[in-house]
Structure 1
Amino acid sequence: MRKARAVLISAVMVLGVSLTIGATPAQAEKLVGAFRDYSECQRIGSHGVAQGWWEGYSCVWESRYRYYFLYT
């Protein structure tokens, strides 16, 4: 009984890991940088759009780190 349970648990774990590895979204956002000032984040974001490095961006405040993160 213990061997069967161990095999079953191992199979479930392998299946779960294989499903989570293949579950990445097609259009995942990319972290470009972290900034203390919102205006600096906006400036770099719009500069990247003007240079053609990315099509759009967002500046997100993360209070636990106390930084604005630039995602493209």
Structure 2
Amino acid sequence: MRKARAVLVSAVLAIGVSLSIGAAPAQAESLNGIYRQYSECQRVGSYGDDQGWWDNWRCEWKSQYYYYFLYS
């Protein structure tokens, strides 16, 4: 019974990993900073754009944390 359960758990994990890898978008956004003020988030986002670190960026308010998150 233990061997069957171990094989089943391994198979389920392998299938889950393969599905999650295949479902990832080609241009996924990444978190590049967390800021208390919107103006600071905008400043860093604009600076990163000027330096060529990223092309598109946005600041998003997360009310559960009370911070702005910079995504690019």
Matched residue type, 2:37: D
Report percent identity of matched pairs.
57
Partner of residue 45, structure 1: 45
Question: What is the CA deviation profile of residues 20-59 of structure 1, one whole-angstrom value per residue up to 9, with x for unaligned ones?
Answer: 2332111100110000000100000001111111111100
Q: Shift of residue 6 of structure 1?
A: 5.4
Q: Shift of residue 19 of structure 1?
A: 1.1
- Once residues 51 and 17 of structure 2 are traced to their aligned partners in structure 1, the CA distance between those partners, rounded to angstroms, is 39
Count of matched residue pairs = 69
Indicate the structure (1 or 2) with the bigger Cα radius of gyration.
Answer: 1
3-state SS in 1 of match to 2:59: strand
TM-score of the pair, normalised by structure 1:
0.76
Unaligned stretches of 5+ residues in structure 1: none
Matches within 5 A, 1:1-72: 10=9, 11=11, 13=12, 14-72=14-72
- Once residues 43 and 52 of structure 1 are traced to their aligned partners in structure 2, the CA distance between those partners, rounded to angstroms, is 14
TM-score of the pair, normalised by structure 2:
0.76
- Once residues 15 and 28 of structure 1 are traced to their aligned partners in structure 2, the CA distance between those partners, rounded to angstroms, is 22
